[in-house]
Structure 1
Amino acid sequence: MSNTLLIAGTDTGAGKTFVTTVLAAYWLKYRTQSSLGIMKPIQSGEGDRELYQKLFTLEQSAEELNPLYFQAPLAPPIAAAKENRSIDLGLVWQTLLKLQKRKDLLLVESLGGLGSPITDELTVADLAGEWRLATILVVPVRLGAIAQAVANVALARQAKINLRGIILNCTQPLTEEEITDLTPSGLIESFTHIPILGCLPYLKESTNLEQLAEVGSNLDWERLL
């Protein structure tokens, strides 16, 4: 079992934060003897770190939860330039190592999609490959999902990412037939050769920990870890 999972997405709005909260809620409810850490390495604008602090009691500092923060909700190189700051990946790396040593499972939520820039030279995919982070790809259930899945898996392979699987995520209410039509599991697995670990339903109330944990119990945890 790897103790670190990078939750990446096909793009902004895929549902990485939701998937991270589902995984965290499940772990805290059903793996009570094991410790959990959450990390948002770089955040631009408010949102994710604030939600994690609200939902979970984590034995880690705010700086460990989010080592780098920029005010503008833009790609990190642009947000950093607006503040005349550099992106200190050394700080992020050291924080990651510290949390890995202390936690049985560390969930790392990436920004944007695998192709999103972290610096002027590196994308999320580059970093995931170089840092050898086991990765879960979140694919939103909507028209175009098949093409997004295929393109992002190709990018993951190019960057030599250890891609554990795909989690489908309903960002709006959908019927089973609509989910099957928009994201046919067999077809996506046939094109990508990557297993689909489950499909998360749309939840109107996404801060109910009991509900989040229950949803998480339907995922394929053996392949996740």
Structure 2
Amino acid sequence: MSNFSRAVDQKTLLVAGCDTGVGKTVTTSALAAYWWKYGKDQSFGLMKLMQTGLGDDELYQQLFGHLTHWDVVTPLKFAAPLAPPLAADQEGKTIDLGVVWQTLQTMRQNHDHVLVEALGSLGSPVTHELTVADIAALWRLETILVVPVQLGAMGQAIAQVALARQTKVKLKGLVLSCASPEAEGKVEEWATPAMLESFTHLPVLGIVPYLTESERENLSRLAEITARFGLEKLAYF
């Protein structure tokens, strides 16, 4: 595994989260859409670390797969919507991180910027030995943490940041994500930015508002969200 380690790559950003279904895909899509609208002729790589079940890769292919100078890749896929090692076990396979690493290296070599979406939380198993946090640290990936605006979010975020520090993940900051219309009016109660910054010593980089399904599939709307809600600075990783 030591052959995978390298210096922090400033052109690659990992989008991780506190849990499954917290808004990683919407955040990743919004950042990618910003590059689609404002990145001019720069090339872009969009990668899902690996996928179990259906969902994210199919959406990314629909939104970005047709774009010139872009690559949209998910190097490993498994049918069962389970943790990757369990999904692989069901198919009699093993998780080949060498394939994932080589895909990432190729993306880095061929593109000006590479955006990678993780799976689950930082504590989610990627193999029978390694978690998302272990991979982020081992591969020296600059990382943002998507925090859902919901009851219990602050405890989740603080615990995830503690795990990141324990494993030496390079965290750039937090992004708050509203998965429901109600969440937008509850940010100060459920995911208080000042308190999160005080406990984690990390900046809250922006807030992703609630988006309808049609808005999540509209590149112009996603790019507008990135520009309006403070996330554009993340687009220049």
Give the alignment's TM-score, normalised by structure 2: 0.90
Given that 1:164 and 1:223 are in contact with CA atoms closer than 8 Å, whether structure 2 keeps it comes out as: no
- Long gaps (5+) in structure 2: 1-8
Q: Which runs of 4+ in 1 moved over 4 A?
A: 58-61
Pairing 1:1-225 to 2, within 5 Å after superposition: 2-56=10-64, 57-58=66-67, 59=69, 65-174=73-182, 177-204=185-212, 205=214, 206-217=216-227, 218-222=229-233, 225=237
Give the aligned residue type for 2:134: D
1:33-64 C-alpha deviation (Å, 9 max, x unpaired): 32111001210011111000101124466xx6
> Whole-Å Cα distance in 1 between the matches of residues 121 and 135 of structure 2?
12
Deviating more after overlay: 18-27 vs 176-185: 176-185
> Whole-Å Cα distance in 2 between the matches of residues 177 and 10 of structure 1?
21
Q: 1:150, CA displacement in angstroms? A: 0.3
Once superposed, what is the RMSD of the aligned Cα atoms?
A: 1.6
> Whole-Å Cα distance in 1 between the matches of residues 123 and 84 of structure 2?
13
1:174-204 C-alpha deviation (Å, 9 max, x unpaired): 3654111111110000000011010110011
Given that 1:165 and 1:223 are in contact with CA atoms closer than 8 Å, whether structure 2 keeps it comes out as: no
> Whole-Å Cα distance in 1 between the matches of residues 70 and 90 of structure 2?
29
Given that 1:9 and 1:138 are in contact with CA atoms closer than 8 Å, whether structure 2 keeps it comes out as: yes
Give the aligned residue type for 1:93: W
> Whole-Å Cα distance in 2 between the matches of residues 176 and 72 of structure 1?
33
Given that 2:178 and 2:184 are in contact with CA atoms closer than 8 Å, whether structure 1 keeps it comes out as: no
Give the aligned residue type for 1:158: Q
Given that 2:31 and 2:232 are in contact with CA atoms closer than 8 Å, whether structure 1 keeps it comes out as: no
Q: 1:219, CA displacement in angstroms? A: 2.4
Give the aligned residue type for 2:158: V
The alignment partner of 1:112 has SS state of coil
Give the aligned residue type for 1:95: T
Give the aligned residue type for 1:148: Q
Give the alignment's TM-score, normalised by structure 1: 0.95
> Whole-Å Cα distance in 2 between the matches of residues 220 and 23 of structure 1?
8
- Long gaps (5+) in structure 1: none
